[in-house]
Amino acid sequence: MKLSLSLPVALLTAALLGAAQSTHAQSSTEFSWSHLPTAQQPTFKADTFNITRYGAKPDGLTLNTQSINAAIADCSSKGGGVVLVPQGLWLTGPVELKSNVNLHLVRAAVLQFSADFNQYPLVLGSYEGQPSYRNQSPLSGTGLENVAITGHGIVDGNGDAWRMVGRDKLTEREWKSKVASGGSVSEDGKVWYPSEKSRLGAKTPNASAPGRTKAEYEAVKDYLRPNMVVLTSCKKVLLQDVTFQNSPAWCLHPIMCQDLTVRNALVRNPDYAQNGDGLDIESCRNVLVEGSTFDVGDDGICIKSGKDEEGRKRGIPTENALIRNNVVYRAHGGFVIGSEMSGGARNLFVENCTFMGTDIGLRFKTARGRGGVVENIHVRNIAMKDIVHDAILFDMYYFMKPPAKLADGQAAPESVPAVTEATPRFQNFTIRNVVCDGAERGIFLRGLPEMSVRQISLDHLVLKVNKGVELIEAQDIRISNLRLETKAAAPVVYVENSRNISFDGMQVNAPTNQALFSVSGNRTEKITAARTEAGKGRTPIEAKAGASVKALKVKS
């Protein structure tokens, strides 16, 4: 038999319609740094429901699933209040939140989710922007209002029990410990899997896609890792002070929520945690993320809105968000938009954040087929240290192969698709006051031939990097007051098939045996440079691959 989708889809459709209607009323609101988005806060009665009253035991052996859920249900049925988790180690299976409930973990309380996969039934949810069967999330809630997880305790998803890991990600001692714990090793000896079901799932294309039989899902069940905290179509949500760690897949995943606050949270995952994102905000409206710290295995703070056609059908952008005073350590990106952004994103404000050792600092990624408009994104006062790759990246070729280069350096001819609803757009970004001490490259912008990255303003940047600036298929870009220190034997600024690019007030400290500007491609035009200090003895411009030196005008 095939698992029925009718009831989950009907509920999801109703939630989407309601969210879309409420979103429409807010879409025309004008936001600015002097008029920032806000999120309404939940309120709770003072009544307290201690989980020990419902039979919970902190011995690390008793499975407290029924006791904790009973406390939450009783609290909600009596008008709400605080469900108290005292200090101790509380072993549990999936916990389902209810409206008007604040699940409060005191300091040194550990909500430890079980490593027994049988505790987590298969459910239809959403993963990476599309409907997907997964194991039930450790902490979840759907269609709730006034809901919170607070306190200085710890929520641990037991992710190491779920996730596969490559031998090259571990020390030899750690690898031997993994293998000795059980599970299964790949034929080439390079990957450890928690079980044979997990290994089979890794080999099965689209293992979680809807439409398979129950037996087919059960055969790969252990591979279908859940996101740890999933809140769907909820209003007035608060996640505050808690340590969220060791998630099987994504850690925090609010989807289609309204009035979401994440405050002073600590989100932790091992650096090898596959899909170990910190916070994925998907199709949410009115969001505040502040004072939080992320140290994870994938993107740190990430904005999403559905993937490809399914995301466009949903049509709910993530909008009206303020993200401030956060620190991101290890992560694939510090602040990220995409790549699943098919419903769009707009009116996002990011300020006073620091990224330490992330792969990329500001990371905006998409690809052909996604669609979606990402616009009105404003970023200021960002500090970065020891970034592995790019300090600032816009890339519309995410997980795509860009056009090959011919012998003369020109992009090889390719069939350029027509612009449709499946064409993504990045437009109207302002990024100001960024300091980066250490990165492979300072700025990288790459659009599509059919749709440039456009209307990007970068102002007051100090970048100490190996390579400077690279702009490909970009349009209407303004870079001003840039102090750039580079080491690589390469042109400081490379521009390919781009137009209407202006540099104003650029100070450069770089090897003098390379050109300041290198322009490439016969569609490169209308580049201006004013008040540029490049040092003596440097070639101002080189042109190749069909470009002309006349594409650049230097103004005094």
Q: Taking the C-alpha atoms of 9, 11, 14 and 15 in order, what is their torsion angle to the nearest 10 degrees?
A: -110
Round to whole Å and give the CA distance between 361 and 388.
9
Round to whole Å and give the CA distance between 453 and 475.
6
Tokens read off for 422:
């499946």
Q: Phi/psi zone of residue 67: left (φ > 0), alpha (ψ -120 to 50 degrees), beta?
A: alpha
Beta pairing partners, 409: none
Round to whole Å and give the CA distance between 472 and 394.
10
Query: Nearest 5°: phi and psi at 66?
Result: -65, -40
Which of 316, 318, 311, 304 minimizes the C-alpha distance to 421? 311
**Which residue among 156, 241, 280, 298 is the active-site one?**
298
Burial 245-277 (b: 16+ CB within 10 A, else e): bbbbbbbbbbbbbbbbbbbbbbbbbbebbbbbb
Contact 148/133 with Cβ under 8 angstroms?
no
Residue type at position 319: E
Peptide bond into 339 cis (omega under 30): yes
Catalytic residue status for 47? no
**Which residue among 332, 359, 378, 395 is the active-site one?**
332
Using CA of residue 50, residue 55, residue 57, residue 62, what is the dihedral sign? negative
Round to whole Å and give the CA distance between 472 and 492.
14
Which of 472, 417, 421, 491 minimizes the C-alpha distance to 450? 417
Catalytic residue status for 332? yes
Cα angle vertex 149, ends 148, 154, to 5°? 175
Cα angle vertex 301, ends 299, 304, to 5°? 85
Q: What is the largest CA-CA distance in the chain?
A: 79
Strands 235-240 and 229-232: unpaired
Residue type at position 131: P
Cα angle vertex 366, ends 394, 333, to 5°? 60
Query: Nearest 5°: phi and psi at 290?
Result: -145, 150
Beta pairing partners, 262: 239, 289
Catalytic residues: 298, 332
